[in-house]
Each structure stands twice: as C-alpha cells, then as structure tokens.
Structure 1
Amino acid sequence: MSGPRLLAGVTVPLVTPVTDEGEVDGESVARLVASLGPGVDALLPALSTGEGGLLTGRQWRAVVRAFVDGADGLPVLAGILRPTTDEVVARARVAEDLGADAVVATTPYGAEVSQDDMYGHYERIAGATGLPVIVYHERAVSRNVIELDTLLRVCRIPGVAGVKDSAGAANFTRELVAARPGVPVAQGLERLLLDSGPVDGCVLALANVEPALCAALFADPGEQGAAELKDACEKYGLDRDDWFRALKTELKQRGVLRSDREVLPMAGPALRPERRTPS
C-alpha cells in the first residue's frame, strides 16, 4: 500500500462495538475512532481484542466495513482469526473488496501444523490478494509455535509486510529484530513493550482507552514509563481473561460505546480469545 508504513507507531487492536441485540454498532464505531486522537497510526479490527474468533462471517464483514468507512484516513488492518488456510484466504479476499489496507493472520490452528505448513500458509495468503499480509505471531490461538528461522523465511515472502509479536517473550522479539527480518516488527503486549528492543511499532489494546499514553510511551518511555504502563494495565484489567470486556465497560462509561456487551455473551473458556498474560 502507499502511504504510512504498516506497523509504524501505534496500531490499535480495536474492541468490537455491538448493540444489545448483538449487531455491529456503526455509531459506536464512529465515536471510538473519533476518540483515539492524533497519536494513533493504524486501526486493527477483528483480532483478539475485537473477539475476532467469535465473530460470525456476517459480523466480521460488518465490523471491517464499519472501520474502513469510519477510518478518517487511517490504514485499516483487517484481523482474521480462522483455523485453516482456505478460510483465511477467503476472508482476505473479502477484506480487499471491503477496502482494507492489509490483513493480519495467525498460523493455521493445531499442534500438528508443521513449520513448512506455516510457511505455505502465508505464501498462499500473500498470493491470494493484493493486500499486504502481517503475521500475527502468537501461540494461544493457534496452539503452535512458529520458529524464528521459519518466521524469517516467511518475512521474505513477497507481500508479507510485518510481524505483530504477541507470543509473550521479549527475548524472542529482540532476536527477531536483531535478525533484520526486512519487515516492521511491532510488540503486541503492553507489559513487554519497554523490554522489546528497538521495535518499529506497538499494537496495544490499551490504546482503545489511553491512545495518547501509548504514543508517548512508544516515543519516549522516560524514567516513569514502566510505572505508568504497569498502573494502566492494572487499572483497565488488561491481564484479565476478558480484558476486552473491561475495555468495553470503560468505553461505555465514557459514552463512547452504547453497550459493553460481548460479541458472544457468556462464552466459555474454550471460545474466549487467548489470555494476554506473558508466559
């Protein structure tokens, strides 16, 4: 894409505003984008903070479309949390049709997925559309681990444009950056931001409610940065299993969202997004 470099600065993995009836709330989407201010560099709907794995196909299309329509000039990186390559490719093509600027996807789901399968997965996604592909490096959703050598190979695939590192190990992030992958690397967990080395950006759920703080900490953490970040994580419950609900509740109290309803109320542990506590 032309324009801002993907994953540079602060990208917001957005909550998914829904009405009390469970429909995507376009009015709240518009207010949420307006509340973010000038410190935000990109929008990322439908990933874990957006309960992306629980969205129906109709809801997923609605939320991506709503943020594309309301982006106000910001790039929109469409999150895709689906278990198979075929499903990810299908949604990537829809994201392109909807006007998204990039897609963000995990490896295929399952402990049995091989490193070659992971490479082939991203190769297929990158070849399926004209959109840049960002690797969502994690382990709790996919239940597998992409090794550093494999990830570096993936980063050399034409069309792969960055890595959102949320696997929970700052030493891995530092090793990845030191290996010069040739694409931007962003830290995706608040508590590891200040220990990740010279990353290109950050993708922080905290930015839904404290975008200016996230921008300031990324630009220059200063002596008080670690304490401010720790206090904010505790204040907004970002290490809770339902951290996305805590953010929604805060945004509802501020009048940004009309409802703090979850996408799938009372979802059991097996259906919830992954935990955010680093391991």
Structure 2
Amino acid sequence: MIPTSPFHGLSAFPLTPAGAEGRVDVDALGVLIERLVSAGVDSIGLLGSTGTYAYLDRQERSRAVAAAVEIVRGRVPLIVGVGALRTSWARSLAQDAERLGGDALLLAPMSYTPLTGEEVAAHFEAVAGATGLPLCIYNNPGTTHFTFSENLLARLSHHPRIAGVKMPLPADEDFAGEIARLRNATPDDFAVGYSGDWGAVPALLAGADAWYSVVAGLLPGPALRLTRAAQAGRTDEAEAIDGAFQRLWTLFRAHGSLRVMYVIAGLLGLPAGEPPQPIQPLPDAVTAEVEAALADLDAVSGDRPKV
C-alpha cells in the first residue's frame, strides 16, 4: 500500500544518538535511518519525542536533519519535528528543515507557561506559513500539557500548509467516533493519525490514516506486519500480532516508551547511546523483562533484527 501523503501509513520514529553534551552522532543515526528505509516504512519521523528533539539545540537538530536526508535520498518521506518554546525558534527550525531537504514538518505546542487556544492557533499559523512544506499537528498533551479541541483542529486544518494531525489515544477508546467527527470537520485530504503504540490496532481498524510509531523506530518488521494487516482489515491477524506486543506495551506504559527504546537498542546491538540526562537508563531487572518481550515478537514475526 503506497501512502498518498507523508502523513499516511506507518511512520517510524527513531532515537537520535547523541553524546552527553547533546552532540548528535550522525554516523549512528545513519545506521538507524538506513534500517528503516530498508524495511519499507512509509515515512520516518525524525526528531519526534522518541528522537529527543526537546533536548537538542538548533545546530544539532540541523546536523541530524542533514545526515538523515543524505541517508534517505528521497526513498522515504522524512518528517522533521520542529517544536520549540518560542514561535521564532520554531519558524527557524522549520526553515532549516526545508532548506536541508526535509519533506514535511511535525509541530507540538511546547510551552512553559500554559497556552490558550488562540496562542496555539497563532503559533501554528506562523510556523506553517514559514515554509512550503506540509505540517502535521502534534497533539501530545502528555508532554505539552495542551489538548487540542476538535474546534481548534478544524480551524487549523483549513490552513493551506496544515495537512494532518497526530492524535493521542482517546480516553473513551472510541476511535471510530473521534475519527468520524474529525473527518466531518476537516477537509477531505486532512490526515488523521494516532500515536500511543498500544492503540495502533484499534486506531487503524477504525480507519486512521497513520500510525506514528515509537516501536517501529527499532522494530520496523513486526510493526509493518501489524500495520498492513490492520490496513487490509485482517482483524484476526492484526490482533494476533498485537498480542505478541502486549508485554512490550506494558513496559512502555510502566517505564515510558523512550526509556524502553534505549534498552531495546542495547539488546539489538544498535548504536543509540544513552538517554539524555536527567533521564536515566533503566535498571538491569527491566532489561531482562524487555528481552522477554522481544522473545514474544520472535514467535509471531520471526524477524527480530540480528546485528
């Protein structure tokens, strides 16, 4: 299935390997990016939350984008996260992404002082107007502490450069109802996708356009199988693959998906380094649990990476 826009299908979010002072290891990043391109993901979400964008300055973000563009070489759409505390900073990051060859933008309303809806609208309109790239709204209240209303999403969806939204999982788990409401309020080509990996199957089965996936950043094989089964309406197959992920989803919820992803990278021998401080690596006891969760995926997919 070929995606019709950068905001359709499986979007894989890799870690951004960096040293203790926040200098990006572009060679290590290239290893992670090439694996995703080779696996056949529909897009790559560079510098998302899993890519620790909030912990990197403008220069390092630009180095990451330039390295990723060189590796991707147009084979897969590259979505670049450009969230920042100030509108002027986010505009500059968006212009950097366009200049360096990114294909699309992902913007979260980062803030220290809580934002109003009008402030968020002005922020998104300013950043979206700064480039010619399509922009996806990152509705991530867990980190930004701002929740987009459906009315605000509808308003922003009519901006000529705002082309999609990355939604959190609905509290009532009514994916079909939420998607229907958003489709009724937004243009026909506005893409509705979801993050929160443990909700991927119900979201895709309900007709979501995209799964913005943490786990696909390191395990694209089983994530692609899950995505394709759900997109094709093969419910039993999708739920069986999701069943094999359950132990991993539990660990994501218990410890935070970012911390668990660093453990997975270590177990696979991939060059991700350690999380940016003050985030700390998980203890050895959790590493053993993650290894057991990966064994569950071996049983269902048979393609755990060997490196």
TM-score normalised over the length of structure 1: 0.84
Q: Which letter maps to 2:7?
A: L
Question: Counterparts of 1:66 and 1:114 in 2: how far apart (Å)?
Answer: 36
User: What's the offset of the Cα at 1:70?
Assistant: 1.1
Question: Given that residues 83 and 109 in structure 2 are in contact (C-alpha distance below 8 angstroms), is that contact kept between their aligned partners in structure 1?
Answer: no
Would the alpha carbon gap of residues 11 and 170 (structure 1) be closer, same or farther in structure 2, given more than 3 Å must change?
farther
Q: Equivalent residue of 2:143, what SS? A: coil
Structure 1 pair 38/229, CA: closer, same or farther in 2 (3 Å)?
A: same
Instruction: Give the residue type in structure 2 aligned to 1:6.
Output: P
Deviations 1:13-36, CA, capped at 9 Å, x for gaps: 111012466431222122112222
* Contact persistence 2:12–2:212 (CA under 8 A): yes
Taking a change above 3 Å as real, the CA distance of residues 17 and 111 of structure 1, as seen in their structure-2 partners, is same
* SS of match in other structure, 2:93: helix
Partner of 1:205: 214
* Contact 2:156/2:162, CA 8 A, preserved across alignment: yes
Structure 2 match to 1:193: 200
**Structure 1 counterpart of 2:253:** 239
The 10-residue stretch of structure 1 (162-171 or 211-220) with the greater mean CA deviation from structure 2 = 162-171
- The aligned amino acid for 1:206 is V
SS of corresponding position for 2:105: strand
Identical aligned pairs, as a percentage? Answer: 21
- Residues in 1 aligned to 2:31 and 2:150: alpha-carbon distance in whole angstroms: 39
Within a 5 Å distance, the mapping from 1:223-238 to structure 2 comes to 223=236, 224-234=240-250, 237-238=251-252
Q: Secondary structure at the match of 1:24?
A: coil
Q: CA deviation at 1:245?
A: 3.5
Distance in 2 (alpha carbons) for counterparts of 1:172 and 1:95: 35
- Per the alignment, residue 260 of structure 1 pairs with 273
Report the structure number with the largest CA radius of gyration.
2
Deviates more, 1:238-247 or 1:93-102: 238-247
How many angstroms apart in 1 are the aligned matches of 2:172 and 2:15?
25
Cα 1:149–1:22 change in 2 (3 A) is closer
2: distance between equivalents of 1:106 and 1:184?
Answer: 16
Give SS of 2:166's match.
strand
User: What residue is the counterpart of 1:215 in the other structure?
Assistant: 224
The farther-off stretch of 48-57 and 217-226 is 217-226
1:115 & 1:23 partners in 2: Cα distance?
34
For residues 4-19 of structure 1, the aligned pairs below 5 Å read 5-19=5-19
For 1:195-216, what per-residue CA distance to the aligned partner results, in whole angstroms no more than 9, with x for missing partners?
2221011011110222121112
Aligned residue pairs: how many?
A: 262
- 1:233 positional shift: 2.4
Query: Using the alignment, how far apart are the partners of 1:64 and 1:190 within structure 2?
Result: 24
- Matched AA of 1:74: V
Any gaps of 5 or more consecutive residues in structure 2? 281-307
One-letter amino acid matched to 2:211: C
Find the residue that maps to 1:70 and give its secondary structure. helix
CA RMSD in angstroms comes to 2.4
With CA pairs under 8 Å and 6+ residues apart, which has the higher RCO, 1 or 2? 1
Q: Whole-Å Cα distance in 2 between the matches of residues 240 and 58 of structure 1? A: 33
The residue matched to 1:97 in structure 2 has which SS? Answer: helix
TM-superposed deviation, 1:230: 1.4
In the alignment, what sits opposite 2:96?
94
Higher helix fraction: Structure 1 or Structure 2? Answer: 2
| Alignment correspondent of 2:131 | 129
Q: Are the equivalent residues in 2 in contact too, given 1:68–1:100 (CA < 8 A)?
A: yes
Secondary structure of 1:202's counterpart equals strand
Return the alpha-carbon distance in structure 1 between the equivalents of residues 180 and 242 of structure 2.
23
1:96 shift after superposition: 1.0
Structure 1: runs of 5+ lacking an equivalent? 269-279
